[in-house]
């Protein structure tokens, strides 16, 4: 089962569920206790309290966004998601907390959800790299250059 299928298994649940306890099992035995280890403290949402309703709503928005990222194999940043849903999230830390809740729910990392804390930065200096097609060389000698977001590995490093 890939991450997208697992995501749907864990997230599509009965909407009338009064509370969600993610401490050692998920939603009444979808994943039995002991099979998954959650990082950090357990998540407990009581859907009858207004504060939990807001947290649940933010979690569902993050679920939708992450599901689209996984389906299209794209990446996003916490900042981008915050500005997409600025009316829902009061500050970027709410986005980060919701992403962490979802990662705990799915027993994975934020990286597995295709969400980064920040975009990759600019580089400047004696650095060159070749793109994945092998034909194009990118150089940082004359101006700062953005690192491609789909760069996965550095294969060869040469001192110039």
Same domain for 148 and 82? Answer: no
Which position among 6, 83, 85, 124 bears the catalytic label? 83
Provide the 3-class DSSP secondary structure of residue 140: coil
Using CA atoms, how far residue 58 sits from 2, 102, 146, in Å, is 24, 10, 31
Query: Could you give the CA distance from residue 55 to residue 97 in angstroms, rounded to a whole number?
Result: 9
Average pLDDT value for the chain: 69
Tell me: do 49 and 102 sit in the same domain: yes
- Domain span including residue 157: 120-160
Same structural domain for residues 66 and 34? yes
- What's the whole-model pTM score? 0.53
Q: What's the pLDDT tens digit per position in 68-91?
A: 998 898 888 899 999 999 988 989
Same domain, yes or no: 28 and 96: yes
Given a contact cutoff of 8 angstroms between Cβ atoms, the answer to whether 115 and 78 are in contact is: yes
Bridge partners of 22?
A: 43
Higher-confidence position of 4 and 116: 116
Do residue 8 and residue 20 come from a single domain? yes
Q: Is 83 a catalytic residue?
A: yes
- Look at phi and psi of residue 114 and say left if phi exceeds 0, alpha if psi is from -120 to 50, else beta: left
Same-domain status, 69 and 112: yes
Q: How many domains does the chain have?
A: 2
100 lies in the same domain as 85: yes
State pLDDT tens for residues 35-60.
Answer: 333 444 555 555 566 666 778 888 88
Give residue 38's pLDDT.
41
Which residues, listed in sequence order, are joined to residue 128 by a DSSP beta bridge? 139
């Amino acid at each position: 089962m890939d991450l997208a299928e697992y995501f749907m298994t864990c997230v599509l649940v009965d909407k009338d569920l009064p509370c969600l306890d993610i401490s050692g099992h998920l939603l009444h035995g979808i994943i039995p206790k002991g099979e998954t280890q959650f990082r950090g403290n357990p998540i407990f949402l009581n859907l009858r309290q207004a504060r939990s309703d807001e947290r649940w709503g933010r979690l569902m928005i993050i679920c939708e966004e992450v599901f689209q990222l996984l389906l299209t194999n794209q990446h996003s940043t916490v900042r981008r998601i915050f500005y997409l849903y600025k009316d829902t999230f009061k500050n970027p830390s709410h986005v980060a907390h919701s992403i962490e809740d979802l990662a705990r729910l799915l027993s994975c990392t934020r990286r597995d959800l295709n969400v980064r804390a920040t975009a990759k930065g600019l580089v400047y200096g004696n650095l060159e790299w070749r793109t994945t097609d092998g034909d194009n060389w990118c150089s940082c000698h004359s101006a700062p250059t953005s690192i491609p977001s789909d760069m996965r590995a550095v294969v060869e490093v040469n001192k110039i």
